[in-house]
Amino acid sequence: MDLKVFPLDAGRREDFFRLHAADADGGWCFCVAWWTSTWNAWGMRTGAENRQRREQLFQQNVHDGYLLYDGTRPIGWCQCCPRDYLLKLADQYKLQPDPAVYAVTCFLILPAYREIGLTHYFLKEIINDLRRRGVKILQAFPKRGINLAADNVWTGPEAVFQKAGFELIQDDPTFPIYSLELNLIQS
């Protein structure tokens, strides 16, 4: 594999959409779950509605994550942006505003590339980029549970964050919060 990680930007929008196609096992979302105002009727939204919301975000110059490539093929996505951008996240977790905190809130890896450790690599590269950009704190919001299906770990597996050195800062049986001080991580 020829793995590379790039921040999403205007030049990579088509790769984002290609990755979030229907065959991406969950691609109907277009990673707008945290950009909607409520969870009410979330499951009733169509892929077209979610794509339209993503187009609106792009028109507002919102590029909220990273793409993982194998060569020139996009194979993974991670939503990562300033935590305060995601009002629904802040409300759900009862978080006080803090412009210094970034949030990693979603991972999508194409099914053919799952279960081979790419999420670990992907997160490590994102952390390195955030450190270079001067971000101080990164938080994660994995879902806890026994034998979670792939579509239930879209916020990232808890073990990935633990292995990367994140510390548990809010314990909860289902929705814990992890945090990592990026200035403590060495490349």
Predicted TM-score (pTM) of this structure:
0.92
Count up the domains in the chain and report the number: 1
Residue 29, judged by CB atoms within 10 A of its CB (0-12, 13-18, 19+), counts as buried
User: What mean pLDDT is reported for the chain?
Assistant: 91
- Please report, for the domain that includes residue 85, its CATH number: 3.40.630.30
E strand or H helix at 136: none
Residues 64/85, Cβ–Cβ less than 8 Å: yes
Domain ranges, residue 108: 3-184
With cut-offs at 50, 70 and 90, classify the pLDDT of residue 185. very low
Return the bridge partners of 89, or none: none
Nearest-5° angle of CA 102, CA 71, CA 33?
35
Tens digit of pLDDT for each residue in 88-124? 999 999 999 999 999 999 999 998 998 898 999 999 9
The DSSP element (H or E) to which 25 belongs, if any, is none
CB-CB contact of 83 with 103 (8 Å): yes
